[in-house]
Amino acid sequence: MSTNAPIEPASDAPAERRHFIQQMIDEHIAQGRWGEPGDRSVIVTRFPPEPNGYLHIGHAKAICVSFGLAEEFGGRCNLRFDDTNPAKEEQEFVDSITHDVRWLGFRWDNASETDPTEGVLFASDYFEQMHAWAVELIEKGLAYVDTQDADTIRKQRGSVTRPGENSPFRDRPASESVELFNKMTRGELGDGAAVLRAKIDMASPNMNLRDPVMYRVVNAAHHRTGDDYHVYPMYDWAHGLEDSIEGVTNSLCTLEFENHRPLYDWFIDAINKDRPDKIHHSQQTEFARLNPSYIVTSKRKLKQLVDEGHVSGWDDPRMPTLSGMRRLGYTPEAVRSFCTGVGVTKFNAVHDITLLENAARDHLNKAAERRMAVLDPIKVVITNWGEHGDADRVEMMEGINNPEDDSAGTRQIPFSRELFIERDDFMEDPPKKFFRLGPGREVRLRFGYWIRCTDFVKDADGNVTEIHATYDPQTRGGDSPPPDTEGKVRKVKGTLHWVSAAHAVDAEVRLFDRLFSVPRPDKAPKDADDSWSFTTNLNPDSLKVITHAKLEPALGDDAKTAIERGVFHSEFGELGTVFQFERLGYFCLDPDTKTAGRPVFNRTVTLRDSWAKQNK
């Protein structure tokens, strides 16, 4: 499907800055490397996760790069699972990863909206072909079966300063290696009894080329092929071959695979040696991985956090997994914006986590509906409420759902004699620049009335338990009162959020913060001993649970709707369960709401970066 768009007229706007991979693909298309010169649709990329864990924010960049480039050039991107290690792979991870990629807004070739796994590819689909190619290499004298134990093979590899030693089985006759390889395949040898190795160069300065292992014996059932195979390919052998079989033009990897590229090239060249019908040879290109501050992305360390109970699970909202971020309230738009914003380069760097948090703020400011919630409530009694009507009356105020989106409309908010406001919005003896409520001071209640504090009540310990105030009936909706006799209009500087006490919905609110207290939590200090762990840097204030929050009724209705529909943002990316709590931040309805008997909300991000002040 060649794209021959009309040429746009010249513009004075600055030219788009294209990263090095885009520039490389531009050149390949112009040269006709993969097809007819100028045909952009020939570009094929892939995202090849192992189904042995959950995706995290680092994977999100790899997804955005591979799927994004395919979208840009009008090509296709494959979602392919590298399921070559049956001992660690589960269908649960396949389902989770598939869901995460779809949540980010990407679709692979032949994807279906009704069957989430349709069009998904697996390395196990190619086991038979890869096995046949391995036999070819044995017959060409380019691979051999080694029956030494793993420790011996490891020692013979040498080091970066010392060349390796040839295995005593390196010159084993090809027929003998083929026979042994077939026995390995049939399950006639035990785990670790033999491996198939490529015959390359034991003195190569690139350790990856020192006769690497291609296959090992694993007598374990595979989640897709069952007991059909008892040998499984190593990643380095399978990686390039899977790309070749699928016709991938651009195999995009992170920088840690740069030294593996010569091996991938060697395998393809070895298969093509003396072969009239050459197999496809993809172009591998490496880029810097995503490395945000204040988090760890090591699968081992993330598992440690779960196993040791530092977090509640892989989808704990403090975890950098996509399932955790989704439960926290992050949107795919925010994640994609962040991944695009950090750019694609060859240089490893630490990326400020504030960029991710700001991406969430930017998108949710435009997309999230507004609601009012009081997290630390103190009661306000309007003492003159009965002077302007029935003392028990309830007035309905009109609240704007989203000032950034007129189509979001408005909602009705009950206003009555007794209200809740935030405890820290009142001070008994406020300083001059405290523009909230205090004795004799007047404030605007958002969408409500102006009120003036006239008195307050304390308990036996001297704590303020109740505030008394009067309201101005001429300020309904929060509007300014009419001018006085001198033409002057009274002004207030503070606007507070509130909830009607009689209509408040009780809720649990979880105030999540960064899981770690330092930018590089897995970097040990210079004087650290062997007992040091990255868990030393866990933030003790990463979670604060509020059990007595008060919500406006609309939030209670929102929670009921989510339960009835069975749709939560954390599970389906449903934006309707993410809100801005006015003056407080962005909050997401947690699926625990289904069993808690009351709404449970997670704080996604504060309205402003609170860490910036702490770090000054």
Concatenated DSSP letters for 235-277?
Answer: HHHHHHHHHHHHT-SEEEEEGGGGGGHHHHHHHHHHHHTT-SS
Place of tokens 């997401």: 588
Structure tokens at 84: 């070559």
Phi, psi of 574 (to 5 degrees): -75, 110
Query: Is the CB of residue 434 less than 8 Å from the CB of residue 427?
Result: yes
How close are the terminal C-alpha atoms of the chain, in Å? 54
Q: How many CB atoms lie within 10 A of CB 31?
A: 10
**H or E element in which residue 182 lies:** helix 174-186
Catalytic residues: 50, 289, 299
Grouping H, G, I as helix, E, B as strand and the rest as coil, residue 213 is strand
Grouping H, G, I as helix, E, B as strand and the rest as coil, residue 347 is coil
User: Residue ranges of the chain with pLDDT lower than 50?
Assistant: 1-13
Grouping H, G, I as helix, E, B as strand and the rest as coil, residue 534 is helix
Q: Rounded distance, CA 511 to CA 149, Å?
A: 52
Q: Rounded distance, CA 522 to CA 537, Å?
A: 8
Query: Is the CB of residue 284 less than 8 Å from the CB of residue 253?
Result: yes
Torsion, CA 259, CA 261, CA 267, CA 268, rounded to 10: -170
**Could you read off the pLDDT of 470-480 as tens digits, one per residue?**
999 999 998 88
Beta strand 600-606 with 585-589 is antiparallel
Q: Rounded distance, CA 500 to CA 515, Å?
A: 34
Grouping H, G, I as helix, E, B as strand and the rest as coil, residue 609 is coil
Grouping H, G, I as helix, E, B as strand and the rest as coil, residue 381 is strand
Nearest CA among 336, 334, 337, 301 for reference residue 319? 301
Which CATH superfamily includes the segment(s) 373-497? Ribosomal Protein L25; Chain P (2.40.240.10)
Query: Is the CB of residue 143 less than 8 Å from the CB of residue 214?
Result: yes
Q: Is the dihedral of CA 68, 72, 78, 82 positive or negative?
A: negative
Grouping H, G, I as helix, E, B as strand and the rest as coil, residue 32 is coil
pLDDT computed for residue 293 by the predictor: 96
Beta strand 450-458 with 442-445 is antiparallel
Beta strand 213-217 with 231-233 is antiparallel
Which residues have C-beta within 8 Å of that of residue 16, sequence separation ≥ 6?
none
pLDDT computed for residue 89 by the predictor: 78
Place of tokens 């909206």: 113
Which residues have C-beta within 8 Å of that of residue 554, sequence separation ≥ 6?
371, 411, 413
Q: Rounded distance, CA 67 to CA 44, Å?
A: 9
Q: Rounded distance, CA 535 to CA 532, Å?
A: 8
Q: Rounded distance, CA 100 to CA 63, Å?
A: 10
Nearest CA among 369, 454, 436, 353 for reference residue 407? 369
pTM: 0.90
Query: Is the CB of residue 522 less than 8 Å from the CB of residue 516?
Result: no
Which residues have C-beta within 8 Å of that of residue 209, sequence separation ≥ 6?
200, 201, 262, 263, 266
Q: Rounded distance, CA 422 to CA 261, Å?
A: 59
Nearest CA among 313, 421, 264 for reference residue 92? 313
Each domain of the chain, given as residue ranges in start order, spans 290-370+505-616, 373-497
**Could you read off the pLDDT of 358-389 as tens digits, one per residue?**
999 999 999 999 999 999 999 999 999 999 99
DSSP characters for 395-449? EEEEEES-TT-GGG-EEEEEE-SEEEEEGGGB-SS--TT--SB-BT-EEEETTS-
Question: Exposed (0-12), middle (13-18) or buried (19+): which is 433, by Cβ within 10 Å?
Answer: exposed
Domain 290-370+505-616 has CATH 1.10.1160.10: yes
**H or E element in which residue 77 lies:** strand 76-81
Q: From start to end of 495-568, where are the E strands? A: 495-496, 499-500, 505-512, 543-551
Q: Rounded distance, CA 304 to CA 306, Å?
A: 5
**H or E element in which residue 468 lies:** strand 464-472
Nearest CA among 615, 609, 603, 610 for reference residue 518? 615
Phi, psi of 9 (to 5 degrees): -65, 155
pLDDT computed for residue 565 by the predictor: 82
Beta strand 499-500 with 283-287 is unpaired
DSSP state of 310: S
**DSSP-assigned beta bridge partners for residue 228:** none
